[in-house]
A and B are shown apart, each in its own frame.
Chain A
Amino acid sequence: MPLTETMSDTEAGVLARGLVRRAAGVGLLGGLVAFVFARIFAEPLIQQAIDYEAGRDEARAVLAAAAGEAVEPEGPEIFSRVLQANLGIGTGVVLFGLAVGCFFGVAYCLAWGRAGRVSARRLSLLVAGGGFLLLYLVPFLKYPANPPAIGNSDTIAQRAGLYGVMVVACVVFGAGALWLGHRLAPRFGNWNATLLAGLAFVVLIGIVMALLPPLGSLSANAGQVGPALTETPQPLRDPSGAIVFPGFDPDLLFYFRLYSVIAQALLWGVIGVAFAPLAERLLERGRATEEGESLIAG
């Protein structure tokens, strides 16, 4: 078996260019699918959350006025809700698809030939699954997506930093787990090496998640009513303790987060599935005799 077979620089350049361009393309496609889903399922929830926020702000203003405190003026509206709910979220989600498509393409180019005997198609699904886990789902476990109305604007910088730490930790530990699995495979076999590497990832990211603070415990949230776990608005009470405005609707929060997960699963799913045949054509051209085998394997 010619293990020393290599690729010329020209060939490699053509391959990388082809893979990266196609990855960017399927990223856009995935973003488009996620946007359609978001427009249909998430936008009504986002509007409800914004209406809740407006109602709560009004109730709070009434309470503040009754207590003789100054009322903070509302920020100016730059874009209408119609624009934000269509063109805005469309631009955001489609371009996010392009961005992660680029990451996916780079990861795929690096993984091909370095991840063992995996068919081009199966590798596409594996890399997309990894991207979904590392760039979204695992960070989400610690700091889940929140609709408008949830989130203290005084903690935005801290929250962005904490979320960034989760994402970076996931990517670093994910790469580390790949390296570890690779090292362990000759001694323990693929199955056990994969389990051990996965376990190492879970332990490390678990430690990071345990060390990072819950959002409700940030100092800017001190003195706010409610549990210290999140920034989800609690019921608004007047000085006598009577509830004058309800807390955030838990069902609304649940469905917003559920749809957020589904949208990302759709995005990464489209990337993995749509890229698979494109990569196969590029990388395994001339393997017609093995079509039968790869149909079963891939």
Chain B
Amino acid sequence: MTGVSAAGARPVAIPVSATLPWLLGALVLGLLIYYFIGIDEGAASVFGNTTVVHEFVHDGRHFLGFPCH
């Protein structure tokens, strides 16, 4: 019932196959947010040639280490 097989033993790995929807979902969500906070309307833009997202998170983008104009 627990993730540990015996006292002090190697913890039991969580099989990837059964958890793929959760792992993939989290990865995709993370990548989407990372893209919009860090990259969109700089090097590439999904909403065309606008700067609304870029300007809104402008200070955060600089401060988090992303390249900014």
Contacts and interface: CB of A to CB of B under 8 A. Distances in A.
A114 B15 CA distance: 10
How big is chain B's contact interface, by range? 35 or more
Contact of A12 (B2, B14, B33, B42): B14
Given A1-B5, A7-B3, A156-B67, A92 B14 contact: no
Interface stretch (A194-202, A221-229, A242-250, A281-289): A281-289
A286 B5 CA distance: 11
Contacts of A7: 3, 12, 14-15
B64 A92 contact: yes
Interface string B45-69: 0000001100111111111111111
A287 B2 contact: yes
A187 interface: no
Main secondary structure of the interface of A (DSSP, over half): helix
Interface in A79-136: 79, 83-85, 87-93, 95-96, 98-103, 105-106, 109-110, 112-114, 116-118, 120, 136
B12 to A, nearest CB: 5
B52 A16 contact: no
B66 A163 contact: yes
Given A13-B18, A15-B19, A3 B5 contact: yes
A264 B2 CA distance: 33
B67 A46 contact: no
Contact of A100 (B9, B30, B68): B30
Contacts of A156: 42-43, 67-69
6 contacts: A6-B15, A95-B36, A112-B14, A263-B64, A283-B2, A284-B2
B59 to A, nearest CB: 4
Interface residues of A, number: 86
B64 A260 contact: yes
A23 B26 contact: yes
A157 interface: yes
A103 B65 contact: no
A216 interface: no
Interface of A: 1-3, 5-7, 9-13, 15-17, 20, 23-24, 38, 42-43, 46, 75, 78-79, 83-85, 87-93, 95-96, 98-103, 105-106, 109-110, 112-114, 116-118, 120, 136, 139-140, 143-148, 151, 153, 156-157, 159-164, 256, 259-260, 263-264, 282-287, 289-290, 293
A78 B32 CA distance: 23
B17 to A, nearest CB: 8
Given A159-B67, A260-B64, A286 B12 contact: no
B10 to A, nearest CB: 5
B56 to A, nearest CB: 5
Given A9-B18, A78-B51, A99-B30, A160 B62 contact: no
A90 B39 CA distance: 17
A163 B66 CA distance: 8
A1 B56 contact: no
Contact of B69 (A2, A112, A151, A256): A151
A52 B52 CA distance: 23
Given A78-B51, A151-B68, A103 B19 contact: no
Nearest to B33: A99
